Amino acid sequence: MEATDASEAEIIKRENMLVYVLGAIQFVHILDFVILMPLGPMLMRTFDVTTSQFGLLVSSYTFAAGISNFLTSIVSDRFERKRMLQICFAGFLVGTLLCALAPNYYLLLGARIFAGAFGGVLNAVVFALIPDLIPPQRRGAATGVVMSSFSISSVVGVPIGLALAEWFDWHAPFVFIVVIGAIFWLLANYYIPKVNNRTEPSSPKETLKQFVKIAIEPKHIQGFLMTSSLGFGIFMIIPFLSPSMVRNVGLAESDLKYIYLCGGAATVFSARWIGRLCDRLGCFRVFTVVAGISFIPVILITQLGVTPIVLALCVSTLFMMTGSGRFIPAMTLLSLVIDPKKRGTFMGLENAFRQFASGAASLAAGLIIYEGADGRLERFGMIGLASVAFTLVAWYFARKIAKDAGVS
């Protein structure tokens, strides 16, 4: 019995290390994406661009990620997952380095497209590796740890990135990301094992036929619609969170780091807690509760006028906790119902559709919102109502997936 316990403890220890390394990769990838949002006021001022142009800068990354995910998902299960991770991570770091070197808006836009093309596939590979390496009974907690990388990037990465931008200029945060990303690439190369996920080679015609079959499978379509609706709802708000906090709420640009610091610190704990609840209570139940609570900060944060910083931080913190928290039960639910042999293709497609939805959301919000004569972002409240509507759509498909799969 003691030998068995020791063996189980060793397995869990090894799994934990794998999860932390995957979380570190997500930390770098997410930081590269989210750092653009708090830099929004600085970039809009530096390049003298409109809200729609800034929305394009944000959405270009997600559209590039969506296209690359769609194309690679056709053959993703033909390649060993660790090798895919190494290549995509390296390409992503090169793209981020190009961002650090970009001298103007248009070259920065091109660099974001390059980084997004590799970063999107990298994200899909990470979430495919979780069910590859972690058993179902511990998968919710593992997903929570990896998802908490968003929070850690907010707590650690964004404040450091904003401080570097204040001390030097907006290029500095991207240099920081490249440096720590290179370290995590080496750790991933050492700790992540090869995964025997490769399927037998087949003709191009057979490969395409299998791809279409996976893409149109009803439960897969429901999964795509669930996470795409979540992504659309949240990314109508996120790109304009920092500009609205400055222009509508009245915070100074130097105060923005506190939003990410407080929200991220709280979400580090809430993400892991939500992940454990998924393992204990069931993914759909947890999703329903977290999604319902998320309506409160979504409505509040898009309606705020001039507000004391303490109250603004309370609302933004709850927004971050519930906004990211909804994805934990959603992604765990998907991992429980997808055939392992189809996982690479499915995750690539899921990421593609979610990235397309997120990019479309940024563009749509940029077209709806406009800058008033007094500098306020007008119609932001409409964005909050639309976000709630898309979350309800996501809940509808989550319910269908859970019911069809017989999970709670």
pLDDT tens readout for residues 347-381: 778 877 887 887 788 778 888 888 888 878 888 88
Q: Which tokens go with 217?
A: 């499978």
Q: What is the pLDDT of residue 183?
A: 93
Q: What is the pLDDT of residue 315?
A: 94
* Residue 319 confidence class, pLDDT cut points 50, 70, 90: very high
Number of helices and strands (H, E) in the chain? Answer: 18, 2
Digit-coded pLDDT (tens) for 214-250: 888 888 889 899 999 998 998 889 878 888 888 899 8
Per-residue pLDDT at 199 exceeds 60: no
224 versus 9: the higher-pLDDT residue is 224
Per-residue pLDDT at 328 exceeds 60: yes
**How many CB atoms are located within 10 Å of the residue 308 CB?**
11
Contact 42, 161 (CB under 8 A): no
Digit-coded pLDDT (tens) for 48-67: 777 677 778 877 887 888 88
Per-residue pLDDT at 5 exceeds 60: no
Q: Where are the domains of the chain?
A: 2-405
Buried b (16+ CB within 10 A) or exposed e, 349-365: bbbbbbbbbbbbbbbbb
* Residue 282 confidence class, pLDDT cut points 50, 70, 90: confident
**How far is Cα 192 from Cα 188, in angstroms, rounded to an integer?**
5
Contact 95, 118 (CB under 8 A): yes
Q: Which tokens go with 96?
A: 């981020």
Of 121, 117, 111, residue with least CA distance to 63: 117
Give the mean model confidence (pLDDT) for residues 111-140: 83
Q: What is the pLDDT of residue 405?
A: 74
Which CATH number applies to 2-405? 1.20.1250.20
Which of 43-47, 83-87, 181-185 is the least confident region?
43-47
Q: What is the pLDDT of residue 202?
A: 58
Secondary structure of residue 406 in the 3-state scheme: coil
Per-residue pLDDT at 1 exceeds 50: no
Q: What is the pLDDT of residue 135?
A: 78
Give the mean model confidence (pLDDT) for residues 27-32: 86
Is the pTM for the entire model greater than 0.75? Answer: no
